Amino acid sequence: MAALLQLVLDGSDRGVALELARQTAELIDALELGPRLLHAEGPSIVRAIRDTMPGRPLACWAETETEADALLQVGVEGLTIPASLSDETLSAITRRARAAGRRILLDLPSLSDYAVQAERWRMLSPDLVKVPVEVNLREILGGLRGLEIPLAFSGDWSVVQVPWLLLYRPIALIAGPVVTGAPEPKRIVEAIRARMAITPTMSRFY
């Protein structure tokens, strides 16, 4: 099957987030709620998003054990945790997610020392590693190859890059500013979908 298309909703405006969810509801495979939106609205935004876009898996950004607990209680399918957190915090959030039967999406920073960090990430055994396209992909993917963890591409990629990104066989493309910053978000998602259809890649993640 084709790679998933996951949309990140972030920002402090609840109305904007809900409208983006409504516009793209039939075109997106999964959603992710970012830290600014969650800090502004709290876990209650999860219910509002689900009402607007039912039936789509939802992952939420979590940086502390308290945030993770609150999000797991409202039934999110996954937690996105930044790899820059301490080992103790990463392990604690991961344990909570595993106990609840939820997925862990590890968000990698724009660093150059992936080979050095690889063993640390291997110990966490996340379900998905989010790689920002702003980094040197050839170098980074070479360092991550031994992890045998599914990859997704995130960051500020463009529509024209989609076929090239799919050559690396990611399990998902995670869209942020390319969609949320566009004057007509739905048209951008349709354009992404058209290019994704040319090169199907992997099986479903959620």
pTM > 0.75: yes or no: yes
Residue 130, in any domain of the structure? yes
Write out the residue range of the structural domain in which residue 175 sits.
4-196
pLDDT of residue 116: 64
pLDDT of residue 99: 95
pLDDT of residue 144: 66
> How many separate domains does the chain show?
1
82 and 109 Cβ atoms separated by less than 8 Å: yes
Enclosing H/E stretch for 6 = strand 4-9
| d(C-alpha 160, C-alpha 42), whole Å | 35
Residues 21-48 have pLDDT tens digits of: 999 999 999 999 999 999 999 999 999 9
Q: Residue 204 has which token pair? A: 């479903």
State the CATH number of the domain containing residue 45.
Answer: 3.20.20.70
Judged by DSSP in three states, 4 sits in: strand
Q: Tell me 161's DSSP state.
A: G
pLDDT of residue 191: 96
Residues 160-179 have pLDDT tens digits of: 999 989 988 899 999 999 99
Judged by DSSP in three states, 172 sits in: strand
Residue 103, in any domain of the structure? yes
pLDDT of residue 123: 81
Whether the CA torsion 169, 170, 172, 176 is positive or negative: it is negative
Measured in degrees and rounded to the nearest 5, phi and psi for residue 23 equal -65, -35
Please list the residues that pair with 8 across neighbouring strands.
32
Judged by DSSP in three states, 88 sits in: helix
Residue 204, in any domain of the structure? no
pLDDT along the chain (206 residues), means of 10: 88 91 94 96 93 92 96 96 92 95 89 66 86 74 71 91 89 94 95 85 54
| d(C-alpha 142, C-alpha 131), whole Å | 12
| d(C-alpha 165, C-alpha 162), whole Å | 5
pLDDT of residue 203: 47
